[in-house]
Amino acid sequence: MRLENKVAIVTGASSGLGKAIAEMFLKEGAKVVFSDINPYPGELNENAIFQHADTSKSEEVDALIATAVEKFGTLDIMVNNAGIGVLNELTNLSDDEWDKVIAVNQDGVFYGVRAAARYMKEHNIAGSIINMASILGQVGFRGAGAYCASKGGTNQITRTAALELAPANVRVNSIAPGFIKTEMTKGIQEDTAANSFIEQSTPLGHMGEPNDIAYAATYLASDEARYVTGSVLYVDGGWMAQ
């Protein structure tokens, strides 16, 4: 198993990409802390626990690290996946909408990187930190200004952290999904015109599945990626090649 004897935290793990990642980590031998503001809908075995955490609050992210260490003895992998989206043009976007997206998607990543890196450096752990970005961190998209800004910021946090943490042998990378079949994209899936646009705009011709992202996360978390840091891994059906 590729993650045997590793301890991981996955935020936003009760649904979508986070759920797929956390469950695949378990199958690959890791001990996993599933974290979310919503309860995990399934059953967990002796190698997993659920911990409520609002990643927009630094004290809750710090407590999440403490919980993982208390339960499993260490921390090797941190996946900062929790995220939200708001569809609204910039001229109509309220302060509260902007603040909420930035707080969860960008501040939450920063808090997760900082807390995990502090622990890993202090305990000489050659860890892996994985941040969930998006193709929309690289290109604009109408109605998604706050989301695009937050994901672009995530990539810059990733690159900077990778440089700063390289001497400690802590790797930091981003995954940038394209359009994936989750609750967040349910509206697109159910809208014939929108779904057709995404399919026609994606070279592989279809939306991805959550496990497509989970496989990428498993690679970055594993020792197979020991020479990979500061990267943005696009898992997007070829969208960014255009």
Q: HEC profile for 10-46?
A: EECCCCHHHHHHHHHHHHCCCEEEEEECCCCCCCCCC
What is the per-residue pLDDT across 89-124, written as a single tens digit (0 to 9) for each?
999 999 999 999 999 999 999 999 999 999 999 999
How would you write the pLDDT of the chain (242 residues) with one tens digit per residue?
999 999 999 999 999 999 999 999 999 999 999 999 999 999 999 999 999 999 999 999 999 999 999 999 999 999 999 999 999 999 999 999 999 999 999 999 999 999 999 999 999 999 999 999 999 999 999 999 999 999 999 999 999 999 999 999 999 999 999 999 988 887 788 878 888 999 999 999 999 999 999 999 999 999 999 999 999 999 999 999 99
16 falls within a domain: yes
Asked whether residue 187 is assigned to any structural domain, the reply reads no
> Within a domain: residue 190?
no
Q: What is the pLDDT of residue 185?
A: 84
pLDDT, residue 193, reads 85
- Greatest alpha-carbon pair distance for the chain in Å reads 52
What pLDDT is stored for residue 38 in this prediction? Answer: 97
* CA distances for 88 relative to 95, 141, 228, angstroms: 12, 11, 36
* Paired strand residues for 233: 175
Q: In which domain, by residue range, is 98 found?
A: 7-180+209-241
Number of domains composing the chain: 1
Q: Distance between CA 212 and CA 209 in Å, rounded?
A: 5
Please identify every residue annotated as catalytic. 147
In a domain, 104, yes or no: yes
Q: 3-state SS of the chain?
A: CCCCCCEEEEECCCCHHHHHHHHHHHHCCCEEEEEECCCCCCCCCCCEEEEECCCCCHHHHHHHHHHHHHHHCCCCEEEECCCCCCCECHHHCCHHHHHHHHHHHHHHHHHHHHHHHHHHHHCCCCCEEEEECCHHHCCCCCCEHHHHHHHHHHHHHHHHHHHHHHHHCCEEEEEEECCECCHHHHHHHHCHHHHHHHHHHCCCCCCECHHHHHHHHHHHHCHHHCCCCCCEEEECCCHHHC
Confirm whether 195 is domain-assigned: no
The reply to whether 79 falls in a domain is yes
Assess if residue 200 is contained within a domain. Answer: no
Distance (Å, whole) CA 226 – CA 129: 12
Q: Answer yes or no: is 164 within a domain.
A: yes
Per-residue confidence (pLDDT) for residue 210, from 0 to 100: 98
Question: What CATH number is associated with residue 220?
Answer: 3.40.50.720
